[in-house]
Structure 1
Amino acid sequence: MMTPNRQRKLLADMAERLREEDPQLVGRFAIFARLAEEDGPVPPEPA
């Protein structure tokens, strides 16, 4: 099991690689995150 610090480092490294390799995707995700922020959590589907 990874420690929280190790997980943060791994995620930060992944994010940095993504910024280098596909900056347009990073920009689109940022826009999506801002738009989705207003919606709040998704309600559960009825059973």
Structure 2
Amino acid sequence: MMTPGRQRKILADMAERLRLDDPELVARFTMFARLHEEEGPPPVEPP
């Protein structure tokens, strides 16, 4: 099992590679996140 610190490092490395490889995708995601930040997560559907 990975430690939370190790998981954060892996995610940070992935984010950095994405930023370098596809900055346009990162910009689109950032804009999408800003447009929807006040909405919160979708409601949970009943079983």
TM-score by length of 1: 0.87
Of all paired residues, the percent bearing the same amino acid is: 72
Match of 1:35 in 2: 35
Partner of 1:24: 24
TM-score (norm 2): 0.87
The one-letter amino acid paired with 1:37 is: E
**C-alpha RMSD of the superposition:** 1.1
Structure 1 unpaired stretches of 5+: none
What is the number of equivalent residue pairs in this alignment?
Answer: 47
